[in-house]
Amino acid sequence: MIYVVEDDPGIRELECYALRQAGFEARGFEEGQSFLEAVRVQLPQLVLLDVMLPGEDGNRLLARLKQDSRTRRLPVIMVTARGEEMDKVQGLDGGADDYIVKPFGVMELLSRVRAVLRRAKDEQPQAELAVGDLRMDVARHRVFADGRDVTLTHMEFELLRYLLINRGIALTRERLLDAVWGVDYPGDTRTVDVHM
């Protein structure tokens, strides 16, 4: 099941129709409250989330999903008219797995949905990662250095997790950018430098 959170009924129906035609189950929501209630009842495989919604906006909904241990790993694709670089950075750094700017092509939307679902399926989460005095509790999204709790943003956490999983391997900035931010991330390798 894929949940589509979109206040424009025409776009919501188009997304749901395209997903159903591609063999997915889809359910639409025009605002965040009914979406969150549905998530409490049934976790979807993936969420297509607009930013500009009545009531709580998409970025706040994304933050709520990422703060809840039950929904933290739920794949989310932002689908929005907000296409400025900072809008994309805010969504991706907030935990979105991909970011699509309206107007979009239906074939591209479906391709990105399949790609995000593949990545989510292939992930083999480990409960804990450690090296030296650094310990990462993946399930609780916490990091400890010398026994002290370290506060990290979502993307800093994901970058550190990737480095710990691949410790001992030399990784290029390009590889880190593709693995942590995604191959379609519009930024450049300086993003990796800033997060390091």
Q: Where are the domains of the chain?
A: 2-122, 128-195
Which of 94, 107, 106, 86 is closest to 64 using CA atoms? 94
pTM: 0.63
Assign domain 2-122 to its CATH architecture: 3-Layer(aba) Sandwich (3.40)
Euclidean distance between CA atoms 183 and 109, whole angstroms: 15
What is d(CA 147, CA 141) in angstroms, rounded to the nearest whole number? 15
Is 98 within 8 Å of 134 (Cβ atoms)?
no
pLDDT in tens, the chain (196 residues): 999 999 999 999 999 999 999 999 999 999 999 999 999 888 899 999 999 999 899 999 999 998 887 888 899 999 999 889 998 999 999 999 999 999 999 999 999 999 999 888 766 556 788 888 999 888 788 899 998 999 988 888 888 888 888 887 888 888 887 778 775 667 776 777 777 7
Neighbours of 43 (CB within 10 A): 14
Domain 128-195, CATH number (from 3.30.70.890, 3.40.50.1100, 3.90.650.10, 1.10.10.10): 1.10.10.10
C-alpha to C-alpha distance for 57 and 187, rounded to whole angstroms: 24
**Do 2-122 and 128-195 show the same overall fold?**
no
